[in-house]
């Protein structure tokens, strides 16, 4: 049996949100992006093709409960436990 050293990983700001309890996941209408939110106040958007974080924002002053895409994929709507709603513009350069 081989004994290995424990792996050490650096956690980025975007990954920190993933370590918290997720409450909502929304796939964009094109299927190219996934938005997540949870107990933290971060709204994160990941690129489905490679799993990379392409956008992150500190969104609310309370735990987030929901996130949804607009049909044209240009806005995200987020909601939190304190009954606040926020609308976020989402624009990235076109991908080939």
Residue 70 sits in a domain whose CATH number is 2.40.10.480
Is this prediction's pTM over 0.85? no
Give the 3-state secondary structure of the chain.
Answer: CCCCCCCCCCCCHHHHHHCCCEEEEEECCCCCEEEEEECCCEEEEEECCCCCEEEEEECCCCCEEEEEECCCCCEEEEEECCCCEEEEECCCCCCC
Q: Is residue 2 part of a domain?
A: no
Q: Is residue 45 part of a domain?
A: yes
Q: Is residue 25 part of a domain?
A: yes
Domain count, the chain: 1
The residue range of the domain holding 53 is: 13-89
Residue 1 has pLDDT above 80, yes or no: no
What is the model's pLDDT at position 94?
64
What is the model's pLDDT at position 35?
94
- pLDDT by residue (tens digit) across 16-38? 545 568 889 999 999 999 999 88
Q: Is residue 94 part of a domain?
A: no
């Amino acid at each position: 049996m081989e004994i290995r050293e424990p792996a050490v990983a650096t956690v980025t700001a975007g990954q920190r949100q993933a370590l918290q309890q997720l409450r909502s996941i929304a796939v964009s209408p094109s299927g190219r992006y996934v938005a997540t939110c949870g107990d933290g106040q971060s709204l994160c958007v990941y690129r489905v093709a490679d799993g990379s974080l392409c956008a992150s924002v500190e969104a609310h002053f309370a735990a987030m409960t929901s996130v949804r895409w607009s049909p044209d994929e240009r806005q995200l709507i987020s909601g939190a436990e304190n009954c606040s709603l926020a609308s976020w513009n989402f624009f990235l350069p076109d991908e080939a």
